[in-house]
Every structure is written in structure tokens, then in C-alpha cells.
């Protein structure tokens, strides 16, 4: 792979679990397991255009995930943005499922109504 080629989320996860990289991360105080678990959130905030993550961003993310770093107002605002996005996505998915369920029930009720009114009597 070329060094200037952006990393996909899968590439990011694969790089982090390489023994050399995992050891290096642990040496600077980064919990690799947490970093891999948070890859969805990290990619949502870093890779806004869907183009992947460059090496510079990877290093910045890793260094920002050190346990000794204090949380900043910027960090809290970013977390709120991510949480709002996740809640909105969840809400949209739930609403879609409920709407499909109601549509199905409505069709079923129309069939039953037709049977009760005698439309289907032999």
C-alpha cells in the first residue's frame, strides 16, 4: 500500500492490531482495544468526506487517545455532536420500522374488513 493513500476504517483497525503498532500505542499510553472499539466514532469525526484517514490524522488520533490527556471543551462538544448524530440515526431507523409496521397492519385490517363485510363470501 502507498504511504500517501488514505486509510479506510478497516485499514485503520488492521493497522492498530499489528503487534508492532499495538506495542507502540501502549508505550505512549493508548489503550488499543478502546481505540479499535471507538473506530466508528473516530471515523465519523475525522473522515467527514468519506475519503479515508491520512497518516497524519492517524497519528493525531492515536496521540489524542492517551489516557493522560485531559478532556477539553472541544472534546466534549465533539462527543455531543457524535451522540446527537447517533441518536438521530437511531430515531430515523425506529420511525421507519414503525411506519412499515403500521402500513402492514393497515393492509391486514383492510383484508379483514373486506372479509367481514362479505366481499369474499363464496
pLDDT tens digits, residue range 36-54? 888 887 777 665 666 778 8
Question: For residue 48, what are the domain limits?
Answer: 9-64
1 in a structural domain? no
Give the whole-angstrom CA distance, residue 46 versus residue 75. 13
Is there a single domain that holds both residue 49 and residue 77? no
One domain for residues 13 and 55: yes
Domain co-membership, 49 together with 75: no
- 4 occurs within a structural domain: no
Summarize the confidence of residues 90-96 as an average pLDDT: 96
Do 119 and 88 lie in one domain? The reply is: yes
Q: Give the pTM.
A: 0.52
6 or 118, which is more confident? 6
Indicate if 18 and 51 belong to the same structural domain.
yes
Predicted confidence band of residue 122 (pLDDT cuts 50, 70, 90): very low
How many domains, in total, are found in the chain? 2
The answer to whether residue 2 is domain-embedded is no
CB 16 within 8 A of CB 35: yes
pLDDT at position 91 is 96
Amino acid at each position: 500500500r502507498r504511504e500517501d493513500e488514505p486509510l479506510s476504517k478497516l485499514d485503520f483497525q488492521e493497522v492498530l492490531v499489528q503487534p508492532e503498532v499495538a506495542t507502540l500505542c501502549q508505550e505512549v499510553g493508548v489503550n488499543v482495544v478502546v481505540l479499535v472499539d471507538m473506530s466508528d466514532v473516530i471515523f465519523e469525526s475525522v473522515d467527514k468526506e468519506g475519503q479515508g484517514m491520512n497518516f497524519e490524522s492517524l497519528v493525531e488520533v492515536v496521540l489524542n487517545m492517551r489516557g493522560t490527556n485531559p478532556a477539553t471543551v472541544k472534546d466534549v462538544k465533539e462527543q455531543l455532536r457524535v451522540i446527537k448524530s447517533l441518536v438521530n440515526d437511531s430515531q430515523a431507523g425506529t420511525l421507519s420500522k414503525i411506519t412499515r409496521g403500521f402500513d402492514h397492519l393497515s393492509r391486514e385490517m383492510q383484508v379483514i374488513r373486506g372479509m367481514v363485510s362479505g366481499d369474499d363470501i363464496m
